[in-house]
C-alpha cells in the first residue's frame, strides 16, 4: 500500500488502571491521526496494523515506530522498532513499548526517557509509567547530565521516580564517568518542581572554638495550600541539640505571616573576664538559649492593616555565639517587602540592638493614622533598664493638600507618645505641628514657596526613683517656624544620534532655602523629648540631572535617569552675627558641604556615593561609595569605601571572574584601615559543569580560619562540608 494518511475519530475511554490492566469505559472521543507506509484495519478485533515510518498523533503527544498495532477497544498501542514517544514535555525511547493513549501510561523495554520539568534522564531495561507522574525502572539509571556519557549518575536494580515528589533507588551506586565511587543500598533523592514534604539538604560545618561539629538536618512539611513549616534539627557537639521551627501561613485573602522560634539548652561553659565589661560573663552549663521572630500582616480593609515585626533573643551574646550560621542571617533579605520575603535584619555579631514593633495603620487619600508599640533590646548595655520604650506612640499625619480650594497648601504632623523605662525619665508627650505654604511661580524658570508653621508641645514626666535627686518635669513649648524656598530650572536636550541613546536631557536646578526657628526655653524638658534647635540659616544647593532616551531594536522608546549630582551647603546667619570679640572660637558660618552622586551609564556600571566635607577644618567628615562593574560574560566586581571621621574607615572588595566557561575565581577582602587590620580575606573557586558544580573557599579572619567545600548535583540539591580553625593556628 502506498504511504497514506487516514484521519478519524475514535471513542476513547477513561481507563481504570491497576498494574496496567485496562478496562474500557466509554467517554468523549479523542482525535487520533495515523500515518504509515502500510496500513490495514481488522473490523472484528477493531485494530489497526501499521508498518513503515509509523506516526500516531494524539492530543498532547505522538508515537513513532517501525511497526504499531493500535487496539481501538482498549485504546492501546503496541509498538516495535525505534520507538519514540512524546507525552507532554516528557520523551521516551526504546525498542518495544505498550502505551495507553487515553491515560498516557505504559511500558517500554530497553528504554530511556527525559523528564522536562526536572531535566532528568532515566534509562532502564524496563521503564514503566504507572501514572501521570510516576515511573518505575528495572536496572535503572538516573542523571541530570546531558549526553550519552554523563559525568555522574545513580544506578540501581530498581528505581522509582515521582515527579514533584521523590525518587527511590535500591541496590545501587553513585557513578562518576561510569566508575562506581559509592555503594548505595537505598537512596531517596528529590525530583521536585513544586513544594513537597520531605528532608531538605543537610548542612555540615565545623568550628573549633564555639560550636564544634555542627550538623543541621531540616525537614519541610507542606501542611496545606495555605501553610507550610520547616523544622530545623541542629546538633552542635560543644553546645547540644537546638530545635527550631518556621511556620509560614496565609489566613484568608488578607492575612499572612512567618513565625520562627528555636531553643537550646547550652551545655558549654564560657568565661570571659577581659574586654568590654558589657560582654563579660562566667557561664556554667545548662544555659537556656532561645530566640523567636514574628512577621505578620492583616489587612482589614483597603488602607487599614495591622503589621508586626517582633524579634527577641534570650541574651546579648546570642548572635555573637552563633554568628557562623543562624536562621536570621540565612534568611536576611535587604529591602524586600514581599510576603515571606525574608527576615528584616542581619543577625551577625556586629548587631548592637533589636527593635520589635507592632503597628496599626489607617490610610486615607490625604491622611494617615498610625498606632505604634515599640520595644528595644540594647546589646551594648549590661541592663536594658535605661532603654527607652514606646507604649504606645500614636501619630496623625496630613499630606500636603490645598486649604479649602485656596492657593495655600496645608500639611500636618502630630503625635502622642507614652515613653517608658525602668530607670530614668518616663512619661507622656503630645506634639502638633501644622504647616501652611503658598507655592508661587514666576514664568517657566522660577518658583518660590514661603512656608509658615506653628508647633505646640506639652509633656508630663517623672523620674523612676523618687529618692533620687531628679525632679519631675512637666511643661510645654510653643514656637513658630518660617521657611522660604526659591528654585529654578534650566535644561537642554542634546541630540547625540547614537544607536541606543539618541537624545540626552540635561537639567540644572539651583535651590535656596531660608529657615528660621526662634529661641525657645526648653531646659525643663525630659530627655526622651528631642530639642528643637534655634535656627537662622540659608541652605543653597545645585542639582544636575541627565536623562537618556533609548531606542530598542523594535523602535520602542524608554527613558532612564543615569546621572544625578547634588551639592549643598548651609550658611548659619546666627553664627555670622555672633560677636567673636574675646572668644577663642572664630566665627564659622559656612557649614559642611554635602554631595550625593548616582551614576549608572549602563547596566554593567554603577556608582553610588555620598560625602561630607568640612570647609572650616579642610577635612572629610564622611564618605560612603559603592562601585559595581560587570560584563556580559558574567565577570563582576564590587568596591566599597566607608569612612566616618575618627570612627570608621573600611574597604570592602569582592570579585568574581570567569577564568574559563566552567571555572569562576572569587575574591573577597574587608579591611579596617582605621584599626590597621584585615577583617576578612576569602579566596574561592567555583567549578561548574552542565549538571554539577563544586565550590572551594578559604577564609581568614582575626578570630578564625576556615575552609568550605560545597558539592552540588543540579536538580538534586547540595551537599557540603565547612571547616573551622585549623589545628595549631
Helix (H, G, I), strand (E, B) or coil at 673: coil
pLDDT of the residue at 132:
63
CA distance 530 to 378: 20
DSSP class of residue 104 equals: T
In a domain, 149, yes or no: yes
Residue 575, φ and ψ in degrees, nearest 5 = -70, -35
Closest CA to 643 of 676, 679, 615, 674: 674
pLDDT of the residue at 498:
83
In a domain, 294, yes or no: no
CA distance 459 to 434: 18
In a domain, 624, yes or no: no
In a domain, 69, yes or no: yes
CA distance 232 to 243: 6
The partner residues of 141 in beta bridges, in order of sequence, read: 123, 155
Q: Tell me, what CATH number does 128's domain have?
A: 2.60.450.10
Burial of 343 (0-12, 13-18, 19+ CB in 10 A): buried
Cell of 305: 492593616
CA distance 304 to 299: 6
CA distance 323 to 350: 9
CA distance 621 to 619: 6
CB contact set of 571 (below 8 Å; sequence gap of 6+): 537, 538, 539, 540, 589, 590, 591
CA distance 729 to 726: 6
Place of cell 513513532: 64
In a domain, 23, yes or no: yes
pLDDT of the residue at 468:
64
Cell of 286: 545548662
In a domain, 178, yes or no: yes
In a domain, 161, yes or no: yes
Helix (H, G, I), strand (E, B) or coil at 297: strand
pLDDT of the residue at 16:
26
Cell of 585: 572660637
In a domain, 338, yes or no: no
Expressed in angstroms, the distance from the first to the final Cα of the chain is 84
DSSP 124-157: EEEEEEEETTEEEEEEEEEE---SSS-SEEEEEE
DSSP class of residue 670 equals: E
Q: Looking at the 3D structure of the chain, how many domains does it have?
A: 1
Mean pLDDT by 10 residues, the chain (729 residues): 32 28 39 86 86 87 90 85 83 88 84 80 87 81 87 88 76 87 78 63 76 84 86 92 94 91 93 67 87 95 94 92 86 71 81 93 96 93 89 95 93 96 93 96 88 96 76 90 95 88 93 96 90 95 95 83 96 88 79 96 94 95 96 94 93 94 94 89 90 83 72 59 35
Cell of 217: 538536618
pLDDT of the residue at 205:
77
Cell of 273: 573576664
Residue 316, φ and ψ in degrees, nearest 5 = -75, -10
Closest CA to 454 of 478, 483, 485: 478
Torsion of CA 120, 125, 129, 135, to 10 degrees: -40
Question: Domain range spanning residue 41?
Answer: 4-191
Buried-state track 671-689, b at ≥16 Cβ within 10 A, e below 16: beeeeeeeeebbebebeee
* CB-based contact 653:641 (threshold 8 Å): no
Cell of 668: 573577597
Amino acid at each position: 500500500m502506498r504511504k497514506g494518511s487516514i484521519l478519524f475519530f475514535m471513542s476513547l475511554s477513561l481507563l481504570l488502571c491497576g498494574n496496567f490492566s485496562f478496562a474500557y469505559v466509554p467517554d468523549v472521543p479523542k482525535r487520533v491521526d495515523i500515518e504509515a507506509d502500510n496500513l490495514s484495519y481488522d473490523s472484528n478485533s477493531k485494530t489497526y496494523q501499521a508498518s513503515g515510518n509509523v506516526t500516531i498523533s494524539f492530543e498532547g503527544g505522538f508515537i513513532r515506530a517501525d511497526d504499531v498495532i493500535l487496539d481501538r477497544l482498549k485504546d492501546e498501542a503496541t509498538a516495535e522498532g525505534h520507538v519514540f514517544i512524546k507525552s507532554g514535555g516528557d520523551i521516551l525511547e526504546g525498542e518495544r513499548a505498550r502505551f495507553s493513549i487515553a491515560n498516557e501510561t505504559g511500558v517500554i523495554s530497553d528504554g530511556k526517557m527525559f523528564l522536562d520539568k526536572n531535566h532528568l534522564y532515566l534509562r532502564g531495561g524496563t521503564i514503566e509509567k504507572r501514572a501521570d507522574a510516576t515511573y518505575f525502572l528495572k536496572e535503572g539509571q538516573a542523571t541530570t547530565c546531558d549526553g550519552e556519557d554523563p559525568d555522574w549518575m545513580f544506578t540501581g536494580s530498581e528505581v522509582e521516580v515521582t515527579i514533584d515528589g521523590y525518587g527511590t533507588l535500591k541496590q545501587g551506586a553513585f557513578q562518576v564517568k561510569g566508575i562506581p565511587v559509592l555503594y548505595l543500598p537505598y537512596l531517596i533523592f528529590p525530583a521536585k518542581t513544586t513544594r513537597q514534604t520531605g528532608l531538605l539538604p543537610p548542612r555540615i560545618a565545623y568550628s573549633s572554638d564555639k560550636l564544634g561539629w555542627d550538623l543541621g538536618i531540616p525537614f519541610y512539611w507542606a501542611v496545606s495550600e495555605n501553610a507550610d513549616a520547616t523544622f530545623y534539627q541542629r546538633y552542635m557537639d560543644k553546645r547540644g541539640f537546638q530545635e527550631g521551627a518556621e511556620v509560614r501561613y496565609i489566613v484568608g485573602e488578607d492575612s499572612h505571616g512567618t513565625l520562627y522560634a528555636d531553643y537550646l539548652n547550652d551545655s558549654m561553659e564560657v568565661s570571659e573576664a577581659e574586654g568590654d565589661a558589657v560582654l563579660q560573663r562566667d557561664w556554667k552549663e545548662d544555659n537556656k538559649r532561645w530566640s523567636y521572630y514574628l512577621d505578620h500582616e492583616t489587612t482589614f480593609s483597603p488602607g487599614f492593616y495591622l503589621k508586626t515585626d517582633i524579634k527577641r533573643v534570650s541574651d546579648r551574646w546570642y548572635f555573637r555565639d552563633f554568628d557562623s550560621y543562624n536562621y536570621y542571617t540565612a534568611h536576611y533579605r535587604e529591602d524586600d517587602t514581599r510576603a515571606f520575603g525574608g527576615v528584616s535584619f542581619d543577625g551577625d555579631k556586629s548587631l548592637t540592638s533589636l527593635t520589635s514593633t507592632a503597628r496599626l495603620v489607617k490610610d486615607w487619600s490625604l491622611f494617615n493614622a498610625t498606632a505604634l508599640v515599640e520595644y528595644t533590646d540594647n546589646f551594648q548595655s549590661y541592663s536594658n533598664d535605661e532603654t527607652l520604650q514606646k507604649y504606645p506612640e500614636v501619630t496623625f499625619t496630613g499630606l500636603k493638600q490645598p486649604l479649602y480650594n485656596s492657593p495655600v497648601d496645608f500639611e500636618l504632623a502630630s503625635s502622642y507618645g507614652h515613653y517608658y523605662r525602668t530607670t530614668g525619665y518616663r512619661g507622656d508627650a503630645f506634639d502638633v505641628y501644622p504647616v501652611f505654604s503658598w507655592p508661587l511661580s514666576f514664568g517657566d524658570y522660577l518658583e518660590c514657596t514661603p512656608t509658615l508653621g506653628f508647633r505646640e508641645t506639652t509633656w508630663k514626666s517623672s523620674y523612676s526613683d523618687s529618692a533620687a535627686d531628679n525632679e519631675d518635669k512637666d511643661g510645654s513649648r510653643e514656637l513658630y517656624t518660617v521657611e522660604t524656598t526659591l528654585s529654578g530650572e534650566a535644561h537642554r536636550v542634546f541630540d547625540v544620534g547614537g544607536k541606543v541613546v539618541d537624545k540626552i536631557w540635561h537639567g540644572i536646578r539651583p535651590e535656596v532655602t531660608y529657615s528660621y526657628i526662634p529661641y525657645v526655653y526648653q531646659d525643663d524638658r525630659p530627655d526622651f523629648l528631642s530639642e528643637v534647635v534655634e535656627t537662622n540659616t540659608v541652605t543653597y544647593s545645585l542639582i544636575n540631572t541627565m536623562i537618556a532616551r533609548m531606542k530598542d531594536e523594535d523602535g520602542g522608546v524608554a527613558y532612564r535617569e543615569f546621572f544625578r549630582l547634588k551639592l549643598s551647603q548651609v550658611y548659619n546667619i546666627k553664627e555670622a552675627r555672633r560677636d567673636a570679640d574675646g572668644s577663642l572660637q572664630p566665627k564659622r558660618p559656612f557649614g559642611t558641604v554635602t554631595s550625593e552622586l548616582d551614576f549608572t551609564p549602563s547596566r554593567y556600571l554603577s556608582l553610588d556615593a555620598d560625602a561630607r566635607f568640612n570647609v572650616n577644618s579642610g577635612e572629610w567628615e564622611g564618605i560612603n561609595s559603592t562601585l559595581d562593574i560587570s560584563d556580559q560574560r558574567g565577570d563582576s566586581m564590587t568596591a566599597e569605601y566607608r569612612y566616618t571621621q575618627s570612627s570608621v574607615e573600611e574597604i570592602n572588595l569582592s570579585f568574581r571572574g570567569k577564568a574559563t566557561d566552567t571555572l569562576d575565581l572569587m575574591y573577597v577582602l574587608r579591611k579596617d584601615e582605621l584599626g590597621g587590620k584585615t577583617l576578612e580575606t576569602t579566596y574561592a573557586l567555583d567549578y561548574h559543569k552542565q549538571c554539577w558544580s563544586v565550590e572551594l573557599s578559604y577564609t581568614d579572619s582575626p578570630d578564625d580560619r576556615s575552609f568550605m567545600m560545597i558539592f552540588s548535583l543540579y536538580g538534586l540539591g547540595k551537599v557540603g562540608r565547612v571547616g573551622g580553625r585549623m589545628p595549631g593556628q
